[in-house]
Chains A and B, each alone.
Chain A
Amino acid sequence: MTIPLSGASLLVSAVLFGFIFGWLLHRARVTDTNVIVNQFRFRDFTVLKVMLTAIIVGGLGVFFLHAGGLASYHIKPANLLGVALGAVLFGIGMVAYGYCPGSGLAAIGTGSLHALIGALGMVFGAVLFALSYDWVKAHILNIAALGSVRLPELTGIPDLVWFAGLAVLALISFLALERRPRR
């Protein structure tokens, strides 16, 4: 068996990794739409805690794996206009749906019927995108397209300094959040 996996063992690992991800999303309570919506209302900071911790723990590990030649980066292209417009739509949709795509799928497993209806909406949205792809590619994705850029290369600030900064930011936020009196 070679790493990275391929063939049948890769497909088995897909279900296994998905299973662990879904399990963790439920344990983190982000399969609860109240938690997600209340993050955007600044009343419940569970989502922020989960994501910042995942980014720092995951990022440091992947950085060292990459440095040791054991992992490759997969950087999505910085088509700045497409990413910004997409993010605006995504934020609107996420609050209306009450889930992000991953937590919505996971919520279906926990019995959320409205998550299932929203997932059908997601299929519809994906079809709309595929149908408009040629136009989008010609008119939006090519505007301010910087390619697959990472912040360390763009700024000249080394990876570990970024992670140290993120860790300090996380620590300050988490301390402030946990010290907040609960109503």
Chain B
Amino acid sequence: MHSEVKAMPARVITRSEVDWTPYLAGAGIGILSWAVFAIADDPLGITTAFAAFSGVAAIPFLGIEGVWHNSYWAKTPPSLSYGTLFLVGVVLGAMASAIATRRFSLETVPRVWRERFGPSVFRRFAVVFAGGAVEMYGARLADGCTSGHAISGNLQLALSSWLFTIVMAASGAATARLLFGNGRFANRGDPK
């Protein structure tokens, strides 16, 4: 399908060519929100549970006492709770969908990165480790992420969440411009 699109000259997209998947999936996430608010009384979110669970990972380095006496983990103790089991479900659900649509594939360096920074796996892994750390620190400082703030918080019209989303979008766009430049590598984000 993609080779077909590329071969065609630029023209206006007609109604029948619109890809409805993002809208349907977005509506699905919205409806899932109704269910989690009403049934579980716990909005969609990732990083709060993730941070609580990180206390377990810190035990080998800080000792049980160190984790136990930390004021943050005292507030959100590491446990096999609703939030952490939700994270397990996220991994399994995406895996099931990837296998069902025959799109499961091992990936070490994605195209958008390779085109700009080359095929080095070590470089990619080093940057994603640092990026993940900065992202999570930011999420905890802001008390939420793209799920907890940008979906669950925004849909409740929370001031904190709309502030988070607008600042995050601006910061991300500026970072993307610095990291990837502006326009020499045209990708449309085709599925891998």
Residues of A within 8 A of B (CB): 3-5, 10-11, 13-29, 31-35, 37-44, 46, 49-59, 61-62, 65-66, 70-80, 82-98, 100-115, 117-131, 133-134, 136-137, 140, 146, 148-152, 154, 159, 162, 174, 178-183
- Bound CA span A18–B147, Å: 12
Q: Shortest Cβ distance from A8 into chain B, in angstroms?
A: 11
Residues of B within 8 A of A (CB): 5, 10-13, 18, 21-44, 46-47, 50-51, 54-55, 57-58, 61, 70-73, 80-83, 85-98, 101, 103-113, 124-125, 127-177, 179-180, 182, 186-192
- The reply to whether B36 and A130 contact each other, CB–CB distance below 8 Å, is no
Q: Which of B23, B46, B134, B191 contacts A93 (CB 8 A)?
A: B134
Identify whether the interface residues of B are mostly helix, strand, loop, or mixed.
helix
A-B contact pairs, 25 of them (CB 8 A): A19-B90, A19-B92, A24-B29, A34-B187, A37-B189, A38-B112, A38-B187, A50-B23, A51-B26, A56-B155, A74-B43, A83-B163, A87-B167, A89-B134, A93-B133, A93-B136, A96-B127, A96-B135, A97-B131, A98-B131, A100-B147, A111-B98, A111-B104, A182-B10, A182-B11
Q: Which chain B positions have C-beta within 8 A of A13?
A: 39-40, 82
- Bound CA span A106–B90, Å: 6
- The reply to whether A4 and B40 contact each other, CB–CB distance below 8 Å, is yes
- Bound CA span A167–B31, Å: 16
Q: Which chain A positions have C-beta within 8 A of B152?
A: 58, 74
